[in-house]
Amino acid sequence: MIESRHKYLFLFPALFTLIAIIIFPLVYTFRLSFSSWDVVQPTLDFIGFDNYVRVFNDMRFWESLATLGTVVLSVVSIEYIIGFALALLLWQDIERNRFFRVLFIIPMMATPVIISVVWRTMFHESLGPINDLLTMAHLPTVPWLSKPTSALIAVIIVDIWQWTSFIFILLLAGLLSLPHEPYEAAAMDGANRFQTFWHVTFPMMAPITIGILIIRIIEASKIMETVYVLTSGGPGTSTETSAYYIFIRSLREFQIGYSAAMSIVYLLLMILALMLIAKGLTRGLVSKGG
Amino acid sequence: MRILVYKGIKYLVLILWSAFVAGPFLWALSTSFKDDAAVVSGATYIPFVDFEPSLDGWKVLFSATEGVNILGPFISSLVVTLVSSLVSLALGTLAAYGLSRFTFRAGPLGNTDITFFFISQRIITPVVLAIPYFLLLKMFRLLDTHVGLILIYIAMLLPIVVWIMVDFFNNISTELDEAALIDGCTPVEAFYKIILPECTPGLVVTGLLCFIFAWNDFFFAFTLTFADTQLLPVSIVALNSSKVPWWSLSSSSLIAILPLVFLAIWLERFLTRGALLGPLK
Amino acid sequence: MVKNRMTKIVVTIALAAGLSAGGVARADKWSEKYPIKEDVPGPASYEATSKKDYKGRTLTILTHAIPVMGEPTALHAKQFEKLTGAKVKVVHVPFGDLFQKAMIPFQTGQAAYDVMFYGSLWIGDFHNYLAPVPGEYIGMPQMQEVTRNYKDVATWEGRMIQFPVDGDRHYLKYRSDVINNPELRAKYKEKTGKELRVPQTWKEYAEMGRFFNNWDWDGDGEKNYGSAEVVARDNLMFSAIISRVAPYAKHPDVKGGFFFDLETMEPLVNTPGWVEGVKDFVEAQNYMPPGGNNFGLGDEIFSFGGGQTLFSYSWDDAFVQAMEPKSRIRNLVGAAPLPGAHKVWNRKTGKWDKFDTPNRAPYICWGWTSAVIKASKNKDMAFDYLAFFANPANHASDLLVGRFGVNPYRTTDFDPKFYIKEAGWAPDVAKTYCATLSGMDKSQNRVFDLRVPGVNQYMSSLAAGVSKALAKQLTPQQAMDEVAVEWKQITKRLGKDRVRKAYANVVALEDNLKR
């Protein structure tokens, strides 16, 4: 670490810009969570902890949290594995493989609201291509959006399709900015491909991996549009995630006070979970690198 | 032999993934040339062979009454996205460098906590922020303006920039800074003359992510505007009627992605240039 | 030589143009410039509107996505601009986002729009923010033609606050090439011992749906199925379930509420009548197309309209889709009133009453309506725009463009000749269509939407409950018990008196009381 009188010049512009923009919405949301603002009375009255008590008794909220957990755990781990594998396959041989590199970045550029509709048409069981191609290949068709398990899998597939590119591009950039010395050393030691990966690449990538996983977990947890378009939470409540549930309660039903309370609870739980995850990852990945 | 097997597996994986990635786009491309009759008769793929192509899906994007005119929104989107991305990138990179190089203390909180504070601003679900943000912009008379949206997007993008760039700066040895300082650079000079060029891959990728997040935001662009400021996702979604027009949604999904594809091609060149120059092959 | 040929072509074109112009006998100067047949004189006609001067003023309109309702909004906005010199801005929004787009400015006191197109069931939430329709517009001849159902829908506590621009209802659509096919009739009779006919009850609908499910009965090489319905949870499914429940739960002789008992405000959703409808709905999953239990309205339209299923019931769209000029089942469909029920729950006696003639309860389902916002500074221009939108010339031409989603709601709309002549429908189709639609206006046993504040809370709770029953997470009775509990909580939160006061209006319509 370097010390400098100028250090605040670096941090403060960003910090204060951010705080200036978000302070009002944050405080306001917190205040809303203690009010009964709803569709008939848009007022900031004070009803104590009523909304919070309701959150704790709302089974649908907790179920949606569990669904969210399943979705996020699956998508982030699968995306990480695939994204890392693809990045490793493509970070050398710079001149060749440009096509693949560009292609693999593209899915995350698709507007989520729209591309979900395209996916919905793909999953359509009688008019869409997926079941049609399965039939042509003499494979059994899948009730994509109409059975709880397959609907959840459909949601997961769309997320993987779109966001593996996010992890891929970040890991690729990470790999490309790695220092060269360790590789030269490893080559001198006669390490093979796998050993080089395990003892050189992986440890050096550990810090950025943690950063990427955390941000992916945060973003994946906001999954809402995909759910809305593909299944609208159904069949039953099988694909209802927290963000989607909060969306229904807030902007569909205008239970603004109540959804503010749900968001605050969600925010606190997420912060707690992320701190635990970050700690776990740091211990698991970084210490090992040594 | 082993090299050959490795190559075989490698390209098999790459091609399979390419098919998965390209699938929806190819389907959208095919669908964009269909009309009612071609859609309801089951899955079809190749125009002229499987179905009679129609240009309706594309025409609707450029006519004012039968569809939306996407040219204005396209330019608005470009302006808002560029400005908010550049501002976020500038401020965020500075902060990330600061957090990576200097020690900050605020009571019991240190650097990691400040970094986490930044990213934690991404956690809260956007839907509940709709009314607070609406009131905020109303207070400053910024509803339905480009400036209003740019501010909101800066708040949305800054955390991402800081969070990602800290990791990239951490990867660069502090010895470089120290050498620069010894050479008589001020810390600010050391930052942009020596360190910044070192992490172009990170910078470029982060810039791209900012661009994508802002370009694709539907929610705030939708909630905080009325009629004057229309961004691309909002005007495209205006085609998502109760009878979902598969054709025009497909064509619009492709149109919206087009500028980003060029960006991706340029980015890929830029990203790999540093690696090409280096000794690593 | 070349020149000669050119002259010939020019002459031919000129002749053709002259002929076609001469062919339209009553063409006027407006029908040359605008896509109408002729201007109909009246206070909102092209002629009258062109005399208004709104130069330098701007009208902002919130409407649905293109094309349904959104396209006519934009089209008539452009015309209005040309005629009056006003500037008109139109914002198109998907249905799922429309409520919030309107409600956030309302709640925060921002005058964002002048005119708004939206679902008429939200009248309970919006009425405080809407401007009543002035007497001069109510007095216009075009408004006098609006049928009783749609005047009722537009009215809140005795005052008209919504401007009728569309008529919506749920009715049954069937494939006439199956129902009227002698071979299939014989086959059905042989296999089931029953007559194949337009289903009179939901039980009959189910029997036929099951029989005609999962085999190719129209010989096109693709399998056909029984019924296409709106089942996706948060995609208007709540309206489908009301259609299915209505004949079991709306007793013609029991007054005082379909959703609640107006006296006690106890929810009725878990009474046997309601549960019976939910049971039917759960059972119906057996005769839907693959993926049919996740169909939204759009899928239902494509499925029935594309010739995949025997039946469908909900708004006009699927019927209109089937009757599109390029459709392969054009003129092979028919319209009929929603199926009824032989048994109806009587909550006064706590027993099922038997009905030899099936009980029918037409659901005057919510649909597109429009209104002028109270906070608007351009109310004069806004009402003029709406009156122009719905003037007889525009209305007649909008009715003929399927994708516009403008459906019959005026006494003049129920003439089969109009559809035969202008749209080229087969006479039988036009007749069943007009008879079905106008028949609903005569009913004395109508069901309306729950037009109370917070309607979205009730409906999303209903949809969630029914969806659990559909996914077999709960039995229909358990699911509806859960809904009833939630409805009590919602009523308590919103204020019992507030909800009761609003609901009394709905009950008054259903019980045919004059208020």
CATH number of the domain at A58-289, out of 1.10.645.10, 1.10.3720.10, 3.40.50.300, 1.10.132.20? 1.10.3720.10
Number of residues assigned to chain B: 281
Contact A122 B152 (CB under 8 A): no
Residue-level pLDDT at A13: 93
Mutate which: A100, A176, A251, vs B, most B CBs within 10 A: A176
Band of residue C93 on the pLDDT scale cut at 50, 70, 90 = very high
Tally of CA atoms within 13 A in the half-sphere of C185 that contains its CB: 11
A 192-231 near B (Cβ less than 8 A) = 204, 207-208, 211-212, 214-215, 218-219, 221-222, 224-225
Asked if A215 and B164 touch (Cβ cutoff 8 Å), the reply is yes
Residue C6 pLDDT > 80:
no
Angle between helices C476-494 and C455-470 (to 10 degrees): 170
Residue A152 pLDDT > 60:
yes
Q: Residue C238 and residue C297: Cα distance in Å, rounded?
A: 12
- Average pLDDT score over residue span A66-71: 96
How many residue pairs from chains A and C have C-beta atoms closer than 8 A?
A: 108
Q: Residue C238 and residue C80: Cα distance in Å, rounded?
A: 36
Residue of B nearest to C74 (CA): B65
Question: Average pLDDT over chain C, rounded to whole?
Answer: 92
Band of residue C24 on the pLDDT scale cut at 50, 70, 90 = very low
* Closest Cβ opposite residue C92 in set B39, B135, B238: B238
Query: C242 CB contacts (<8 Å, ≥6 apart)?
Result: C363, C365, C447, C449
Residue B234 pLDDT > 60:
yes
- Average pLDDT score over residue span A201-227: 91
Residue C189 pLDDT > 90:
yes
C239 C-beta neighbours (distance < 10 Å), count: 23
ipTM: 0.90
Residue-level pLDDT at A1: 52
Q: Residue B214 and residue B220: Cα distance in Å, rounded?
A: 10
Neighbours of chain C (3+ CB pairs under 8 A): A, B
Q: Residue A70 and residue C68: Cα distance in Å, rounded?
A: 38
Q: Residue B210 and residue B82: Cα distance in Å, rounded?
A: 9
Q: Residue C261 and residue C250: Cα distance in Å, rounded?
A: 12
Q: Residue C277 and residue C466: Cα distance in Å, rounded?
A: 10
Contact A234 C232 (CB under 8 A): yes
CATH T-level topology, domain B68-238:
MetI-like fold (1.10.3720)
What percent of chain C clears pLDDT 70, i.e. is strictly above it? Answer: 94
A91 vs chain B: nearest CA distance in angstroms?
Answer: 9
* Closest Cβ opposite residue C70 in set B40, B64, B241: B241
Per-position DSSP letters for C178-229, written without gaps between them: HHT-HHHHHHHHHHHSS--SS-SBHHHHHHHHHHTSSB-SSSSSS-BEEEE-
- Average pLDDT score over residue span C240-257: 96
List the helix and strand counts (H, then E) for chain B: 14, 0
Residue-level pLDDT at B280: 39
How many residue pairs from chains A and B have C-beta atoms closer than 8 A?
A: 316
- Average pLDDT score over residue span A8-35: 94
* Closest Cβ opposite residue B138 in set C66, C95, C108: C108
Strand partners, C465: none
C232 vs chain A: nearest CA distance in angstroms?
Answer: 7
- Average pLDDT score over residue span C245-263: 96
A37 vs chain C: nearest CA distance in angstroms?
Answer: 10
Strand partners, C175: C333
* Closest Cβ opposite residue C67 in set B37, B138, B241: B241
Residue-level pLDDT at B45: 87
Contact C297 B222 (CB under 8 A): no
- Average pLDDT score over residue span A134-147: 92
Contact A40 C453 (CB under 8 A): yes
Strand partners, C93: C64
What residues in C contact A237, CB-CB < 8 Å?
A: 464, 467-468, 471, 473
Residue A196 pLDDT > 50:
yes
Residue-level pLDDT at B57: 84
Mutate which: C294, C459, C485, vs A, most A CBs within 10 A: C294
Beta-strand runs (E) in C315-406:
333-336, 341-346, 351-359, 368-373
A249 vs chain C: nearest CA distance in angstroms?
Answer: 8
Q: What residues does each domain of chain B span? A: 68-238
DSSP C512: T
Q: Which residue type sits at C323?
A: M
B75 vs chain A: nearest CA distance in angstroms?
Answer: 16
Residue B4, token pair as written in the block: 């050959």
Residue-level pLDDT at B274: 64
C447 C-beta neighbours (distance < 10 Å), count: 25
Q: Residue C205 and residue A217: Cα distance in Å, rounded?
A: 48
What pLDDT digit, counting tens, does each position of C311-336 carry? 999 999 999 999 998 899 999 999 99
3-state secondary structure of B186: coil
Q: Which of A30-34, B46-50, B146-150 has the lowest mean pLDDT?
A: B46-50
Q: Residue B208 and residue A99: Cα distance in Å, rounded?
A: 18
Q: Which of A195-199, B199-203, C55-59, C124-128 has the lowest mean pLDDT?
A: B199-203
C170 vs chain A: nearest CA distance in angstroms?
Answer: 23
Q: First CA to last CA across chain C, in angstroms?
A: 80
The alpha carbons of chain B give a radius of gyration, in whole angstroms, of 23
The 3-class secondary structure across chain A, one letter per residue, is CCCCCCHHHHHHHHHHHHHHHHHHHHHHHHHHCCCCCCCCCCCCCCCCCHHHHHHHHCHHHHHHHHHHHHHHHHHHHHHHHHHHHHHHHHCCCCCCCHHHHHHHHHHHHCCHHHHHHHHHHHHCCCCCHHHHHHHHCCCCCCCCCCCHHHHHHHHHHHHHHHHHHHHHHHHHHHHHCCCCHHHHHHHHCCCCHHHHHHHHHHHHHHHHHHHHHHHHHHHHCCCCHHHHHHCCCCCCCCCCCHHHHHHHHHHHCCCHHHHHHHHHHHHHHHHHHHHHHHHHHHHHHHHHHC
